Amino acid sequence: KVKLDVLAQGVSGCTRCGLHASRTQTVFARGNPDAELCFVGEGPGADEDAQGYPFVGKAGQLLDKMIAAMGLSQDEVYIANVVKCRPPNNRTPEPAEMASCLPFLNEQLDYVRPRVIVALGGTALRGLLGAVDGITKMRGKWRLYRGATPLMPTYHPAYVLRTPTKEVRQMVWSDLQLVLQELGRPIPKRGT
């Protein structure tokens, strides 16, 4: 999609917020821009900043496992973040930084036009839906992104790695099953 390429090009030179100062490069997206399912996370970490793609570190490996457990290939998803530059020391992006960067994500999603969005973690959820309750309260229940696109909030894979209990994994898997149901896809027997 040419418009996405042009947008990514524009983002790569962006200096709208202070996060540009310490980035190695911007991190725009990976996956298929024609995908029906889009995952949105918080922002790049060290691995992503180094490689230029989102979710390529440990949390990304878990996300890939989750996608595989859903019976989907990498070509059936599109993955992006709320902010495109790595916050120093992996801190949470500040509200002003998110506000500066969000128009890029909104435009990105306008071009991809996914049928379903999964918000990974509380920061992504706040970015996509504005002021909302925490992820623990919001996960597992459908919301609408900009009043139109079904959005499922679930835990960020980094949280799952930090809290690898059966209960947390089961909650994420149950959220992803709802996503598969919405997409009209079969639900594989075994989860993450």
**Positions that interact with ligand SF4 (CB under 6 A):** 11, 14-17, 19-20, 26, 83-85, 97, 100-101
Q: Which is nearer to ligand SF4, 105 or 116 (CB)?
A: 105
Q: How far is the CB of 124 from ligand SF4 (least distance, A)?
A: 14
Q: Where are the beta strands (DSSP E) in 44-186?
A: 77-81, 116-120, 143-145, 149-154
The distance of closest approach from Cβ of residue 4 to ligand SF4 in the complex, given in angstroms and rounded to an integer, is 15
Phi-psi region of 172 (alpha: psi -120 to 50; beta: other; left: phi over 0): alpha
> Which of 11, 67 has the CB closer to ligand SF4?
11
* Distance in Å, CB of 37 to ligand SF4, minimum: 23
Give the Cα separation of 46 and 88 in Å (integer): 9
CB of 30 to ligand SF4, least distance (A): 16
| Residue 86 CA neighbour count, 13 Å, CB half | 19
> Based on CB atoms, which residue is closest to ligand SF4, 51 or 61?
51
Q: How far is the CB of 91 from ligand SF4 (least distance, A)?
A: 13
Is the CB of residue 93 less than 8 Å from the CB of residue 104? Answer: no
Name the residue nearer to ligand SF4 (CB basis): 47 or 175: 47
Give the residue among 122, 59, 73, 135 at the shortest CA–CA distance from 95. Answer: 122
Given the complex with ligand SF4, which of 85 and 109 has the nearer CB atom?
85
Instruction: Find the Cα–Cα–Cα–Cα dihedral 84, 88, 93, 98, rounded to 10°.
Output: -40
Cα–Cα distance, 128 to 145 (Å, whole number): 7
